[in-house]
Structure 1
Amino acid sequence: MPIFTVTGEIDPFLHIHLRKGEKVFCESGAMVMLEAVLRVKGQLRGGIGRALLRRLASDESLFQQEIEAIDDGDCLLAPTLPGSIELLQVTPTSAYVLSDGSFLAADIGVEVRPQLNTLGGGLFGGTGGFIIMKARGNGQLAVSGFGAIFTLDISPERETVIDNHHVVAWSSDLHYEVGMPNSGSGGFFGTLVNSVTSGEGLIIRFRGRGKVVVCSRNRSVFRPQPSV
């Protein structure tokens, strides 16, 4: 099995060691370095239909890169936006849902495919619109977030509320709803006014048992400084 290692404390690389015959796939443009014994090619993973749905679902490209080891070798990958990388273990009983642009790389045994979102998530966006990405199978999955990354353990005892644009990935067994922060009074209008005046937009309410990976930055409000 390929060995995934996150290296570097600020804007890290994903280092992958592959033995002869092993394969991984990654987001198009993620490759920084690979040894000559590795081969890289573009792939329409899952066929043209799923590739088109994947493109509609997120910021990922139509084509993905497949890296195959002709002999033992290493490669370095990096996400598009500056930020941390988190390694998740996908198993037949532990799948993950991915938010827009969070996929970086995975073992060939992991399938990342589109599925229908909830009505709320589809209407309000931020998690992929009406089509979202689900990673299932068996192997390692690398996701990236804008800024620092932290993994939350969600328990059934209490509901956890997270800003929509800070969610990177979550356990597929978790129940989630997209909505507005609860103001505590005033009904729908009061909630709407509170959402605007507090500066908090849409949130996701998670219930159940599982993990949610969050990032510290909101890329929807990020504005690069103009060059002087």
Structure 2
Amino acid sequence: MQYTINEGPSYAMVDVELDEGEMIQTKPGAMMTRDGSVSVQSDVGGDGGIGDSVKRAISDERTLVDNTYTATNGVGSVTLVPEHPGDVIAVNMSDRRSLRVQSGSLLGWEPLVERSTELNNLSNMFNSGELTVLGLSGQGTAFLSAFGSMVEREVTPQESLIVDEDHLVAWTPELSLNRQKDGGLKSTVLGGEGLVTEFTGQGHVWLQTRDPMLFSTGTEHQDDETSGGIGVDDFI
């Protein structure tokens, strides 16, 4: 498989080229275009598909459906796009033992990338209330998307990192997590207290520069005093 990531970091898309017989798996809605030589098969609930090499993730209903694209007649191409504006990075899992990823950030993956739901990190739900934590391992490339630009930060034993959870994309599993309540602007905008996660140890954290919760809160924003909330217009 060959790929290029174009139009980033604001409106990134992934152009994937498959040799005959090669496959790429994606979450629903990730495909923008594909060649006529590329076939697609939907795998619901984990039956069928590519043997047992992929461990199913238990999160929202959309995660239970995977699309597998296969080049069946020579070289074929597939273009993948996130469901929101932002960046995409490629992670070579062959160079890593494993990775923890917010489920909504996983855009596509090669068949030998294994996924599992992580239930032992204090909580499997983060602030959005819709995203669960996936464990990635195995071999091959996985594509992760961000709302906004993707930022990588290093955590060291001498310097911890405290992160607003709605900005989290992925992190290395060697890190220890400590969830804490946090006040501030988000409490005023969304009501109640937000949550932050403190990462300690040695490892890396990947972040998205935009907060989907703040933007979604403002989708019904009107220019009157009773609307409340923050809309996209407030940021431009």
Category of TM-score, reference length = shorter chain? 0.7 to 0.9
Q: 1:128 to 1:87 in 2, by over 3 A?
A: farther
CA distance in 2, matches of 1:46, 1:196: 39
Q: C-alpha displacement at 1:98, in angstroms? A: 1.1
Q: Equivalent residue of 1:20, what SS? A: coil
Cα deviations across residues 118-155 of structure 1 (Å, max 9, x unaligned)? Answer: 33x34x63387895211110111111111111111222
Number of aligned residue pairs: give it: 211
Gapped regions of structure 2 (runs ≥ 5): 49-54, 224-236
Moved more, 9-18 or 172-181: 172-181
Partner of 2:233: none
Q: TM-score, normalised by structure 1?
A: 0.80
Cα deviations across residues 73-106 of structure 1 (Å, max 9, x unaligned)? Answer: 1110101111111111213752111114111001
1:94 to 80, 91, 97: 97
Q: TM-score, normalised by structure 2?
A: 0.77
Q: 1:104 to 1:195 in 2, by over 3 A?
A: closer
Partner of 1:224: 219
Q: 1:227 to 1:105 in 2, by over 3 A?
A: farther
CA distance in 1, matches of 2:57, 2:115: 13
Gapped regions of structure 1 (runs ≥ 5): 182-191
CA distance in 2, matches of 1:130, 1:101: 6
Partner of 1:203: 196
CA distance in 1, matches of 2:69, 2:195: 38
CA distance in 2, matches of 1:130, 1:217: 16
CA distance in 2, matches of 1:195, 1:82: 22
Q: C-alpha displacement at 1:107, in angstroms? A: 0.9
Q: C-alpha displacement at 1:113, in angstroms? A: 1.9
Runs of 4 or more consecutive aligned structure 1 residues displaced over 4 Å after TM superposition: 127-131, 192-200, 225-228
**Residue type at the aligned position of 2:59:** R
CA contact (8 A) 2:126 2:132 kept: no
* Structure 1 position 55 matched with structure 2 position 60: yes
